[in-house]
Structure 1
């Protein structure tokens, strides 16, 4: 069966390496996974062509996640909440089932290092990346989740949108209004892509705090450097989230749940070695 990752750009994607390693765990010799570059205005047409050619499913990356959400015939609860789809499964009847595995990938990676129950969580950013992880984080029963953004209104709007579903205290504010220390601080902004620090108040990291950057890099990201200098005890980039969300997608397609740890270790080695 043929699967692809669709994006623009997409040449940098490590998804083929990840899914090939997953398939090897189960001896799935007929599992094929490739990159598919589509024009920014050609996602729907390209997706339909892929399905018509017998494609079994796809991962979706920037800038197509919201358009993928609109294209699907059925949605998982987490995709419906995120209003974005990063995984599509083609059903036997040709209908498209959309899921969002980003939050599950993040939480799985966090839980390898800390428990989230009873913790104060600070989520930085109020865009699509943040939206996709709020409910998975809330499902772990933290003491509260605070959403901080440069524009307070966006953070408040996001908190209000999920307040009835989260089941934990949820609030939104701008960076200047953040107060107190947090056990877990998750960067869901794009600041690290540009090498930019965030205007975080002093004392935001509690003793033993974990700092998590959804962006990953061979080098320390700007946010993780900032977290280290501010005393965060555990600092993680988003490579584990990448592999974790891929594992959820692989399970959705094949029914096999792969082992994440060896694939993550292999990917980390190749990343630090500078290979693609």
Structure 2
């Protein structure tokens, strides 16, 4: 009898650590499973998901550029997926797919439990208004931040996300051109490539960094280097990449699918050691 099938669906997706993470979680929990990676361009998402279901797929993680479309095909959304408006975790049912979003809880758990961050009362700048930003914004508000400023290259998307969050006293859309004049922040989160030019040069003003400001990039590995380098050079207190969030959102997805919460710390430590080993070898 074959093991239940799971996968991450995105484009590109060959770099994804999700298959390794879920293999480790399955081993921890004593649960046999198959977890692969499906590369599907935007226009092929529906067909790729249908083929996966026909082949016995029972659960999937969804990454760029499909999180919004994934929400649209679901027969039911959890409350956190409904609030986010995007889905990163799919569960196969008798009638189709149900959707959840574990990005927000993954980020907050990483910041508070692993990095000792107290999010209460903090003034936060969120760079980006796409699927990643939508996934984490509600959880940040729930964690008790004081204010959330949203900046995106397309102003209408900043406005749309702010409107969807429905908390005008705490959520403030701003324009990209205003970044040099909107003050400084206690926490800055990069949920887009907005901080990079085609040559990897940074274009953000250092005035955004308040004393003891912490900076997070939701990317990990080489993708996070330019933004976090800018943060260090600008005087950030702590800089944090998205590896911990990746592990914690995966742990939450594993809980959704299997009813068991795996040990994220063990897998995080393994991936950090692997990253260090590769950097040394390179």
Q: Give the structure-2-normalised TM-score.
A: 0.88
Unmatched runs of 5 consecutive residues or more in structure 2: none
Q: Does 1:214 align with 2:215?
A: no
Q: Does 1:198 align with 2:203?
A: yes
Quickly say closer, same or farther: Cα 1:32–1:229, change in 2 above 3 A: same
Q: Which residue of structure 2 lines up, in the alignment, with residue 61 of structure 1?
A: 63
Q: How far, CA to CA, are the matches of 1:105 and 1:230 in structure 2?
A: 27
Q: 1:151, CA displacement in angstroms?
A: 4.2
Which of residues 144, 149, 152 in structure 2 aligns to 1:146? 149
Q: Which residue of structure 2 lines up, in the alignment, with residue 110 of structure 1?
A: 111
Does the Cα contact within 8 Å between 1:116 and 1:141 map onto a contact in 2? Answer: yes
Q: 1:221, CA displacement in angstroms?
A: 1.3
Q: How far, CA to CA, are the matches of 2:249 and 2:34 in structure 1?
A: 18
Q: How far, CA to CA, are the matches of 2:69 and 2:77 in structure 1?
A: 13
Q: 1:39, CA displacement in angstroms?
A: 4.8
Quickly say closer, same or farther: Cα 1:94–1:267, change in 2 above 3 A: farther
Q: How far, CA to CA, are the matches of 1:180 and 1:39 in structure 2?
A: 39
Q: 1:192, CA displacement in angstroms?
A: 5.6
- Partner secondary structure for residue 236 of structure 2: coil
- Partner secondary structure for residue 248 of structure 2: helix
For residues 44-193 of structure 1, the aligned pairs below 5 Å read 44-91=46-93, 93-111=94-112, 112-113=114-115, 114-164=117-167, 169-175=170-176, 176-177=178-179, 178-191=181-194
Does the Cα contact within 8 Å between 2:61 and 2:89 map onto a contact in 1? Answer: yes
Q: 1:94, CA displacement in angstroms?
A: 4.2
Q: How far, CA to CA, are the matches of 2:45 and 2:152 in structure 1?
A: 30
Does the Cα contact within 8 Å between 2:81 and 2:100 map onto a contact in 1? Answer: yes
Q: Which has the higher helix share?
A: 2
Q: Which residue of structure 2 lines up, in the alignment, with residue 230 of structure 1?
A: 234
Please give the per-residue CA displacement for 1:121-163, whole angstroms capped at 9, x wherever unaligned. Answer: 1111222221221110000111111112344443233222213
Q: Does 1:5 align with 2:8?
A: yes
Please give the per-residue CA displacement for 1:198-255, whole angstroms capped at 9, x wherever unaligned. Answer: 323x432222221001111158611111111111110011111111111111110000
Q: Which residue of structure 2 lines up, in the alignment, with residue 260 of structure 1?
A: 264
Does the Cα contact within 8 Å between 1:192 and 1:221 map onto a contact in 2? Answer: no
Does the Cα contact within 8 Å between 1:56 and 1:90 map onto a contact in 2? Answer: yes
Quickly say closer, same or farther: Cα 1:220–1:249, change in 2 above 3 A: closer
Unmatched runs of 5 consecutive residues or more in structure 1: none
Q: Does 1:31 align with 2:33?
A: yes
Quickly say closer, same or farther: Cα 1:188–1:219, change in 2 above 3 A: closer
Quickly say closer, same or farther: Cα 1:122–1:87, change in 2 above 3 A: same
Quickly say closer, same or farther: Cα 1:150–1:48, change in 2 above 3 A: closer
Quickly say closer, same or farther: Cα 1:39–1:137, change in 2 above 3 A: closer
Q: How far, CA to CA, are the matches of 1:42 and 1:156 in structure 2?
A: 29
Q: Give the structure-1-normalised TM-score.
A: 0.89
- Partner secondary structure for residue 166 of structure 2: helix
